[in-house]
Structure 1
Amino acid sequence: MRKFKVVVTDWEYADLRFEEKVFQAYEEIELVPAQCRTEEDLIRVCQDADALINQYAPITRRVIESLQNCKVITRYGVGVNTVDLDAATEKGICVANVPDYCMDEVSDHALALLLSWARKVTAADHHVKNGVWDFKLTQPIYRLRERTIGLVGFGRIPQALAEKVKPLHLRVIAYDPFFPADVAKQKGVELVSLDALCEQSDFISVHAPLTADTKGLLGEKQFALMKKDAVVINTSRGPVIDEQALIAALEKGQIAGAALDVVEEEPIASDNPLLRMEQVILTPHVAWYSEESAAELRAKAAMGVADVLVFGEYPKYLVNHKVKEQGKLEASQPEARYAKLV
Structure 2
Amino acid sequence: MRQSGAFVWPGGLNRMGKFHVVYFGSNDVPVDLIKPILAEIDADMTIRRPTNDTEVVEMGSDADGIIMHGSVPLSREIISQLKRCKVVCRTGVGVDRMDLKAASDHGMIICNAAGCNSIEVSEQAIGLLIGISRKLMRMNQYVRDGKWKRHTAELHAYRGRVHRIEGRTIGIVGLGHVGKQVAPRAQGMKLNVQTYDPYLNPNVAREMGVKMVSFDELIATSDFISIHAPLTKQTRHMFSTAQFKTMKTTAYLINCARGGLVDTEALYDALVAGELAGAALDVTDPEPLPANHKILTLPNVIVTCHTAANSDESYIDCQTHAAREVVNVLSGRGPTTEIKDPWLLSEAQDEGFGGV
Alpha carbons of structure 1 residues 62 and 113: separation in structure 2 relative to 1, 3 Å: same
Match of 1:207 in 2: 228
Match of 1:71 in 2: 86
Match of 2:348 in 1: none
Match of 1:333 in 2: none
Amino acid at match of 2:301: V
Counterpart check, 1:48 vs 2:62: yes
Distance in 1 of aligned mates of 2:251 and 2:340? 36
1:276-318 deviation line (CA, Å, top 9, x unaligned):
1111011111110110000110111111111122x22212222
Amino acid at match of 1:41: E
Structure 1 residues 22-31 or 215-224, which shifts more? 22-31
Counterpart check, 1:317 vs 2:331: no
1:27-57 deviation line (CA, Å, top 9, x unaligned):
7322111111321111111122211112211
Amino acid at match of 2:96: N
Counterpart secondary structure, 2:39: coil
Distance in 2 of aligned mates of 1:159 and 1:24? 31
Counterpart check, 1:139 vs 2:160: yes
Counterpart check, 1:294 vs 2:305: no
- Check the 8 A contact 2:41/2:327 in 1, yes or no: no
Counterpart check, 1:86 vs 2:106: no
**Equivalent residues in 2 for 1:123-138, closer than 5 Å:** 123-133=138-148, 134=151, 135-136=155-156, 137-138=158-159
Alpha carbons of structure 1 residues 168 and 24: separation in structure 2 relative to 1, 3 Å: closer
> What is the percent sequence identity of the aligned residues?
35
Q: Give 1:58 deviation, angstroms.
A: 0.7
- Check the 8 A contact 2:38/2:323 in 1, yes or no: no
Alpha carbons of structure 1 residues 18 and 164: separation in structure 2 relative to 1, 3 Å: farther
Amino acid at match of 1:71: K
Q: Give 1:16 deviation, angstroms.
A: 3.9
Give TM-score scaled by structure 2 length: 0.85
* Aligned length, in residue pairs: 320
Aligned-residue RMSD, C-alpha: 1.9
Alpha carbons of structure 1 residues 156 and 20: separation in structure 2 relative to 1, 3 Å: closer
Distance in 2 of aligned mates of 1:211 and 1:18? 35
Amino acid at match of 1:179: L
- Check the 8 A contact 1:261/1:284 in 2, yes or no: yes
Match of 2:247 in 1: 226
Match of 2:125 in 1: 110
Alpha carbons of structure 1 residues 23 and 190: separation in structure 2 relative to 1, 3 Å: closer
- Check the 8 A contact 2:16/2:44 in 1, yes or no: no
Unmatched 5+ stretches in structure 1: 323-342
Distance in 1 of aligned mates of 2:67 and 2:303? 29
- Check the 8 A contact 1:22/1:303 in 2, yes or no: no
Counterpart check, 1:194 vs 2:215: yes
Amino acid at match of 2:99: D
Q: Give 1:241 deviation, angstroms.
A: 0.9
Which of these residues, 165, 183, 186, is aligned with residue 162 of structure 1?
Answer: 183
Alpha carbons of structure 1 residues 24 and 200: separation in structure 2 relative to 1, 3 Å: closer
- Check the 8 A contact 2:23/2:48 in 1, yes or no: yes
Distance in 1 of aligned mates of 2:288 and 2:48? 22
Alpha carbons of structure 1 residues 18 and 290: separation in structure 2 relative to 1, 3 Å: farther
Match of 1:29 in 2: 43
Alpha carbons of structure 1 residues 182 and 305: separation in structure 2 relative to 1, 3 Å: closer
Q: Give 1:115 deviation, angstroms.
A: 0.7
Match of 1:304 in 2: 325
Unmatched 5+ stretches in structure 2: 1-14, 343-356
Alpha carbons of structure 1 residues 24 and 92: separation in structure 2 relative to 1, 3 Å: closer
Match of 1:255 in 2: 276
Which of these residues, 38, 42, 57, is aligned with residue 52 of structure 2?
Answer: 38
